[in-house]
């Protein structure tokens, strides 16, 4: 992975250490994705731009000074390298999935109103990133709201006109839980989308319902011999199972990047 880190540094323009001050972000648009997920468009003056796949820390502060921080992935395409001050370069989108019994996500998805401000810092995470200069085929594998940072990669791929072949495998419980469904139902010609329903498919669905397994990964993903760069994001159990199965199928572990969240039950 150290060699791979060097490769990231070569591809990314952003390998010089920088500091990440808290910035004030203003909510300019909100879009409900599902019953439990909302996309927040925020204007962030001074935003330095981000690579596809990165996240930010959001901080909420109560009137008495109590504060809480959480991390959220950027859903917007990479804005790295765009002219400072460009309106789009200082606007970001976060998709927030409500966490049961969560402290910050219910406020962001239910209470935050247009014009309200929050503090955030970022971008963070210079590893789980895809750079449009990377010519390798790109295999994206998402479980649930793990789709968010991968959607940034899909959007970046489209926005930059990348010619790298790109496939997206999305595991989602049911159509009601599907993020970005409209956008992915009319994909750009360069991204192939495979959906896996783990609980129930759309009305009239007669195909398979169940978890992602090795057979499905073999059928839906680029084969190991084209050496795709693979990004896997989702709950820990999903990421563990998918990454293990991909290695078993012959994928090079050094080309697989993972981002996990959620408890393991240990």
Partner 1 sequence: MAIVSRGFRGRRTTDPRLPPGQYLERGFPVLSAGPTPRADLTTWTFSITAGGSTRASWTWAELQALPADDVVKDIHCVTKWTKLDSSWRGVSLDTLLDGVDISSAEQFALAHCDGGYTTNLPLADLRDGKAWIAYGYDGAPLRPEHGGPARLLVPHLYFWKSAKWVRSIELGTSETQGFWERLGYHAYGDPWKEQRYWGD
Q: Does 19 bind partner 1 (CB under 8 A)?
A: yes
- The whole-angstrom separation of Cα 174 and Cα 52 is 26
Q: Does 258 bind partner 1 (CB under 8 A)?
A: yes
Q: Does 200 bind partner 1 (CB under 8 A)?
A: no
- The whole-angstrom separation of Cα 22 and Cα 40 is 18
Q: Does 174 bind partner 1 (CB under 8 A)?
A: no
Q: Which is nearer to partner 1, 157 or 229 (CB)?
A: 229
Name the residue among 237, 214, 233 with its Cα closest to residue 224. Answer: 214
Q: Does 115 bind partner 1 (CB under 8 A)?
A: no
- The CA-based angle 56-133-212, given to 5 degrees, is 65
Give the residue, chosen from 50, 112, 168, 191, that forms a contact with partner 1 under the rule CB under 8 A.
112
Q: How many residues lie near partner 1 (CB under 8 A)? A: 59
CB of 52 vs partner 1, minimal distance in Å:
15
Label the pairing between strands 117-124 and 91-97.
Answer: unpaired
Q: How is residue 69 written in tokens?
A: 């921080």
Peptide linkage before 123 cis (omega within 30 of 0): yes
For the chain, give percent helix, strand, coil, nearest 5: 25, 30, 40
Is the separation of the CB atoms in 77 and 88 below 8 Å? no
Q: Which is nearer to partner 1, 70 or 218 (CB)?
A: 70
Give the residue, chosen from 17, 85, 189, 204, that forms a contact with partner 1 under the rule CB under 8 A.
17
**What residues from 228 to 247 belong to the interface with partner 1 (CB under 8 A)?**
236, 240, 243-244, 246-247
Residues at the interface with partner 1 (CB under 8 A): 1-5, 8-9, 15, 17-20, 24, 57, 59-63, 65-71, 103-104, 107, 111-112, 116-119, 121, 124-128, 236, 240, 243-244, 246-247, 253-254, 256-258, 260-266
């Amino acid at each position: 992975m150290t060699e791979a880190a060097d490769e990231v540094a070569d591809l990314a323009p952003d390998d010089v250490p920088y500091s990440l001050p808290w910035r004030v972000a203003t909510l300019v648009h909100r879009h409900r994705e599902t019953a439990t997920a909302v996309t927040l468009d925020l204007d962030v003056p001074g935003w330095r731009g981000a690579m596809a796949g990165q996240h930010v820390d959001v901080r909420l502060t109560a009137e008495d000074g109590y504060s809480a921080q959480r991390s959220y992935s950027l859903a917007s395409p990479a804005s790295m390298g765009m002219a400072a001050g460009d309106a789009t370069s200082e606007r970001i989108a976060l998709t927030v999935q409500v966490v049961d019994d969560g402290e910050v996500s219910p406020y962001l998805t239910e209470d935050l109103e247009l014009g309200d401000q929050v503090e955030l810092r970022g971008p963070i995470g210079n590893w789980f990133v895809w750079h449009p200069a990377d010519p390798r085929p790109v295999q994206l594998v998402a479980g649930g709201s793990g789709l968010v940072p991968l959607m940034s990669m899909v959007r970046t791929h489209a926005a930059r006109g990348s010619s790298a072949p790109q496939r997206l495998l999305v595991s989602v419980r049911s159509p009601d839980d599907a993020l970005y469904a409209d956008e992915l139902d009319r994909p750009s010609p360069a991204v192939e989308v495979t959906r896996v329903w783990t609980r129930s498919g759309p009305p009239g669905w007669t195909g398979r319902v169940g978890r992602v397994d090795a057979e499905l990964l073999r059928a839906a993903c680029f084969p190991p011999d084209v050496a795709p760069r693979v990004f896997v994001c989702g709950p820990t159990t999903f990421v563990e199972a998918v990454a293990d199965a991909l290695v078993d199928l012959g994928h090079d572990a050094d080309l697989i990047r993972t981002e996990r969240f959620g408890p393991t039950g240990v």
